[in-house]
Amino acid sequence: MASRADVRARALALCTLLVPGCGSPVAEGGAWDPDDATTGAGDTAGSTGAPASTDDTAAPPAPETSEAGEPPPPPFPDVPQDDCPRVRITVMPGNVLNVRDAPATTGAEVGELGPNTIVDVLDSTTGEAVEGTDLWFEIEFGQIHGFVTAAYAECTLEEPPELQPPAGFHLPLECGVTTTIAQGNDGGFSHQGAAFYAFDFSVGVNTPLVAMADGIVAHTFAETMPGDPCYDGGGADCFAYGNLVVLRHGDGSTSLYKHLNEVWTLDGEFVPRGTPVGLSGSTGYSTGPHAHVMRMEDCGTAQCQSIPLEFLEAGVPEQGDSVTSENCPP
């Protein structure tokens, strides 16, 4: 604990640095004494900003303006408080933001957040500088509790999205992309039973597939990697190994995007209509690169009974039909 003399000297030195004329005789005579100061800057006669406390852990408040008339820099980092109740994750599609147990990239990973996810902010602090900012947010999202860098998280007053019933469903392709239907509803090869209302789109490997309507990720599978037996397709025994994304929509239905080469979403992530969910491929039960898409009941698993799907720009296309996506950014 600092001595009384140390506290006095430290306060006088800080006052001299921050307040012009501090330390010179004041109206009542003698040098400014921190023990005689009243609460609040400017309460002592003749002074312009005396510290309100002599605690050796507290810095005196800065004056309201500098000699040049400009507000001085804040004595502590300017971090959001009540004006930042939530943050939106701003990483690009296909990337995730690691949640750490400390405000540094060396902290242990405690979770991941995908693009556009809105999470609650518990507090803000400073830590390791990332992309020029040392601001970090302490966040909570479901069971995830930790810190994320402000380099990839922006303050928002928005609430997490509440899904509304979509006005309709667009093609699962980026705006302007044209392709053909390789297999439609009630297809002779595999679109029977639970997959009766499915569509296969003839697209090459690594074609972006996008959300047909706003949705929240309900299921993902991304474990089939290059070199695995079912990565380049296979028979019925590969059915369970097709990489996929399932979105839950505001009308209670879900949509499936399957045989992906890469999965770009995380469970619980909000995906606006037209946003990529992954890249096409030939993983799982597949005879070649294509995109398998269908609208489903929400049965709680990744593979549910398909239900009729009519595209806003293409109706119900049949095998061999050419379709062009109008799933353009809003």
Domains of the chain by start residue, with CATH: 1-76 (no CATH), 86-156 (2.30.30.40), 178-324 (2.70.70.10)
What mean pLDDT is predicted for residues 273-282? Answer: 97
Band (94; pLDDT cuts 50, 70, 90): confident
pLDDT, average across residues 230-244 = 96
The label of the residue with tokens 């507090």 reads 123
pLDDT digits (tens, 9 = 90+) for 144-172: 999 999 999 999 999 888 899 999 999 99
C-alpha dist (Å) from residue 250 to 57, 195, 312: 53, 22, 17
For the segment 180-187, the average pLDDT, to the nearest whole number, is: 94
Give the model's pLDDT for residue 69.
57
**Cβ atoms 275, 210 nearer than 8 A:** yes
What pLDDT does residue 189 have? 80
Higher pLDDT, 68 or 194: 194
In this predicted structure, what is the pLDDT of residue 321? 98
Q: 99: Cβ–Cβ under 8 A, 6 or more apart, which residues?
A: 109, 110, 111, 112, 113, 139, 141, 144, 145, 146, 147, 148
| pLDDT higher at 56 or 121 | 121
Average pLDDT over residues 21-34: 38
Average pLDDT over residues 188-209: 94
- Per-residue pLDDT for 12 more than 50? no
Q: In DSSP terms, which residues pair with 99 in a beta bridge?
A: 111
pLDDT band for position 179 (50/70/90)?
very high
- pLDDT over 50 at 74, yes or no: no
> What is the per-residue burial (b if ≥16 Cβ within 10 Å, else e) of 51-70?
bbebeeeeebbbbeeeeeee
Tokens 């995908």 belong to residue: 114
pLDDT at 10 over 70: no
Mean pLDDT, all residues of the chain: 82
pLDDT in the model for residue 218: 94
State residue 278 phi and psi, 5-degree precision: 170, -175
Q: Where is 6: in which H helix or E strand?
A: helix 4-18
Contact 277, 265 (CB under 8 A): yes
Cβ-based neighbours of 119, under 8 Å, separated by 6 or more:
86, 87, 89, 113, 139, 140, 141, 144, 148
Stretch 65-81: mean pLDDT: 48
The residue-averaged pLDDT of 235-242 equals 95
- CA-based nearest residue to 302, from 235, 218, 190, 239: 218
- In tens, the pLDDT along 30-71 reads 333 333 333 333 333 333 333 333 333 344 444 444 444 555
Question: Shortest CA distance to 294 belongs to which of 230, 329, 242, 226?
Answer: 242
Class of residue 118 by CB neighbours under 10 A (exposed 0-12, middle 13-18, buried 19+): middle
**C-alpha to C-alpha distance for 196 and 189, rounded to whole angstroms:** 11
**Run of H or E residues at 86:** strand 86-89
Mean pLDDT of 271-295: 96
The four Cα atoms 127, 131, 136, 141 give a dihedral, to 10 degrees, of -140
**Where does the pLDDT of residue 249 fall: very low under 50, low under 70, confident under 90, or very high at 90 and above?**
very high
pTM value surpassing 0.85:
no
Please give the average per-residue pLDDT across 99-125, as a whole number: 94
